[in-house]
A and B are shown apart, each in its own frame.
Chain A
Amino acid sequence: MKKKFKLPILATGPVHPLQEEMEFFQLYVDGETVVDIDVRLSYNHRGIEKISESLQFDQVPFLVSRICGICSASHPLAYVQAVEEIAGIIPPERALYVRTIINELERIHSHILWVGLAGHFIGYETVFMWAWKYREPVLDMLEKITGNRNNYGNVKIGGCREDLPEGIEEEIYPILDQIEKKMDMLTKAVLDDPILHARLKGVGVLKKEDAVNYAVTGPTARASGIPIDVRRDDPYAAYDLVDWNVCVQEEGDVFAKVVVRLLEVFEAIKIIRQALAKLPKGPITTEVKEIPPGEAIGRAEAPRGETFHYVRSEGGNTPARHKARAPSYVNVPSFKASCIGEKISDVLITLAAVDPCYSCTERLGVVAPRSGKVIYDFDMLLQLSREKTTRIRKGL
């Protein structure tokens, strides 16, 4: 914590062990305006990079899928692609399509989850209930394909561990139709709602130059007018074999981030439909003998942004060095640019807009600059955020 404020460190509760990415935000306020923000993380550091150095190459995908429960398809995929690059392995085409389908199902459920939580934070409980209801069939589908709702463990060096179950196409198509219909309704309801426009437009703006300087990725960058997407820029799996669009908005505010995520759900549905239609027959894995010395990077577009893995092999059974970077690691520091100058009632949704794990926002407290007294805790901030929505609703 910065010493210049000479404040005691005040936490709003014990560290929550159920969710990853524990973070502690300290906001310095002048009246209702935020003047500075300090972020402290690593309450739940698990030393995954160190553990990875003691595991064999084929065991690491199971470890890295535990980095994040929601992004548990993207992390192993990025790692596996790095190892495949070192060894010069080309997975069979069917495996590339299966990887694409699982990753896009993951994106759909993650984005719907976020829309629901964003609704919850600003007092739109209906959005929360609807969104989470629509998300459920996606998780059921992932369970049918991989055996798990999260932590799929389906990707391995050289291909996939499990093929799609026989006849699954007949089950996926109706679910995609159903989600598309429901999300279309939800998207129109959100985009046409004057209260949401008033509540979210111009709030928590991350300017394009700040987005470049903080090196943000994923929907956070795309909502600030930076058209980057690893799936298109550096294609992997079967993304260059299907037709889809990168969703970009220029405004950089919370509303733009909502729009980007909602539109991406439709693109993901489009990708899955094409991948299922084009799914070639054949094996899903290729033989892997040994991993030669070398180094390589692998990256994948997770729902929150680019997941980046660097692997170095010295010819042994285990990686000599393995670096993993999750997208929130670069997205979260951008709060320094997007929260300062905001009102306290807008901070909660601004922090939530980059889609960090939600334990982060539960660790948020507001401290008076001179006395060091806690003015607001998480529940009070939630109350403030919802009251503002109610005021706007009454005013319109």
Chain B
Amino acid sequence: MAVDDVPRLGCGRSIDRIWATIDQPPSPHEEKCEQCQSARERLKKLTEATRSLRESDLHNTSLKPRLSVKNAIMNVARAEIRRSRRIALHGKENGTTEISEQALSSVIRFAATAIPGIHARRCHIEIRSGGNDPSGEDRPSGNTATAANEGAHLIINLRVAAAPSVEIPRTVDSLRQRISNAITACVGISAGTINITVEDLYDV
């Protein structure tokens, strides 16, 4: 009974190993071993044939997915991105409610579009538990703290670019107020801390 089913050359090298390194220069052993050299030559032809078939498939219209399949794949891909990190909003015996960071970010961005002279950029959200947690550590999504619990609150870190003409302190205050109102109205929780960083100025 064969102990090793991997096909090997007379010198003991496995064909798979040579195939795996076919795109690389030959090793010192392969430079000297006639069996390895012969195998490499033959496998190179197989590599070229494989490459040629792959190129052919890329341009073969009959192998292209239908538009509906492509759209379905893109919908799944977009949804996967939206999933991102989750923030627990509500937890009861009859079920939990959580929100993705992306969904919360979209509310914040939507609120920011209402402020003239401000472009929202990166947005990062954390949920911090209340005074019951002596460690005071930030809790990422999926932990027991929920944004709707008393004591737990969101920390929103938003980076924006501002037009040079705007009065930054006043504009940022109104942006903060706008975001706070939007989160309460659109999500149903209090906004907690909203840190805004004006990281750039842009030309109007």
| A and B associate in one complex | no
